[in-house]
Amino acid sequence: MASNVLLVGKTGQLGWELQWALACLGTIHAIDYPELDLRDQGAVRSLVRSVRPDIIVNAAAYTDVNGAESQTDVARQINAVAPGVLAAELRQSGGRLIVHYSTDYVFDGAGTRPYLEDDPANPVNAYGRTKLEGEQAVAASGVPYLIFRTEWLYGARGKNFLLSILRLAREGKPLRIVADQVGAPTTARMLAESTALALACLTDSDPGAVSGIYHATAAGQASWYEFAKAILEECCALESPAPEWCRRALQSVQPMPSSEYISSARRPAYSLLSTEKLARVFGIAMPHWRDQLRLCVQELQGTPVLS
């Protein structure tokens, strides 16, 4: 049965991928700022009432981790209040399900094994706190929900670590990258495709039976330094011989401790999330982070980013 889907945040790196991944589900109503200002609760309510979606997929977020320390009220309006309003309006209009995205930053990073969905949350920065509040608001709405916690998201578009590393490398800037924070780099495309697979499983079933929080990340682990080095390795492997700027950057990239990284927001040292629940309930297992990276870099081949 075709669904009426409202996608919020269509221009972000995840939202862009979701527009393509969700197309098989039915009619997609995609919207973003400035068409919709998530700080305007009245506008959010009006949108849901006019579209009357079966499913809402909320890919919009305030993602500036450092900025959230000084712009906490704005971050809270977008990351916490707006998701709650979307979910409450969906329930009021008789919708089936809301999909919402959260983050590893709801945890403090003091763990020593991959976090489970029901492990106690303890965010150490304003961004993490507002995202946790968003989870709680969606859950409290009473409508069935899928909250996908992910981490270290990147892609071929938008603003992300991959594109920043490539830009700095091409400019010949020194690369000293934090080596004592561990996570699982995850592409926006793989997260979007996993979302579509999960929703396809619910086409003819009761979403309330699987409503809850799921961790959705790549397999494997890396530090930011290992991630940066792998980015350069994959780029150098695209051509033979490798471009001079890429070889030079790969030879010069250096690890650094997080204590030397200037930041207004604390970041968790350990961010691995267990994806066993996602595999058990939906049969979804994302590829290893290095395989995801290779595909993303290949997508960039021939673009201004690499040429």
Percentage with pLDDT > 70 across the chain: 99
Domain-wise residue ranges, the chain: 3-160+185-220+267-287
Which of the pair, 261 or 116, is modelled with greater confidence?
116
pLDDT tens for each residue of 268-297: 999 999 999 999 999 999 999 999 999 999
Three-state SS across the chain?
CCEEEEEECCCCHHHHHHHHHCHHHEEEEEECCCCCCCCCHHHHHHHHHHHCCCEEEECCCCCCCCHHHHCHHHHHHHHHHHHHHHHHHHHHCCCCEEEEEEEHHHCCCCCCCCECCCCCCCCCCHHHHHHHHHHHHHHHCCCCEEEEEECCEECCCCCCHHHHHHHHHHCCCCCEEECCCEECCEEHHHHHHHHHHHHHHCCCCCHHHCCEEEECCCECCEEHHHHHHHHHHHHHCCCCCCCHHHHHHHHHCEEECHHHCCCCCCCCCECCECCHHHHHHHCCCCCEHHHHHHHHHHHHCCCCCCC
- Give the separation between CA 6 and CA 100, rounded to whole angstroms: 12
pLDDT tens for each residue of 35-65: 999 999 999 999 999 999 999 999 999 999 9
Percentage with pLDDT > 90 across the chain: 93
pLDDT tens for each residue of 157-193: 999 999 999 999 999 999 999 999 999 999 999 999 9
Q: Stretch 99-106: mean pLDDT, rounded?
A: 98
Q: Stretch 238-242: mean pLDDT, rounded?
A: 90
> Which listed residue (105, 127, 145, 214) is catalytic?
127
pLDDT at 1: 63
pLDDT over 80 at 2, yes or no: no
pLDDT over 80 at 307, yes or no: no
pLDDT over 80 at 261, yes or no: yes
pLDDT at 305: 80
pLDDT tens for each residue of 197-218: 999 999 778 999 999 999 999 9
Q: Could you name the CATH architecture of 3-160+185-220+267-287?
A: 3-Layer(aba) Sandwich (3.40)
Do 296 and 236 meet the contact criterion of CB atoms below 8 Å apart? no
pLDDT at 204: 77
pLDDT over 90 at 303, yes or no: no
Q: Stretch 233-258: mean pLDDT, rounded?
A: 95
- Give the separation between CA 138 and CA 134, rounded to whole angstroms: 6
Q: Is 127 a catalytic residue?
A: yes
What is the chain's mean pLDDT, rounded?
96
Entry pTM? 0.96
pLDDT at 203: 79
Token output for 101: 């995205």
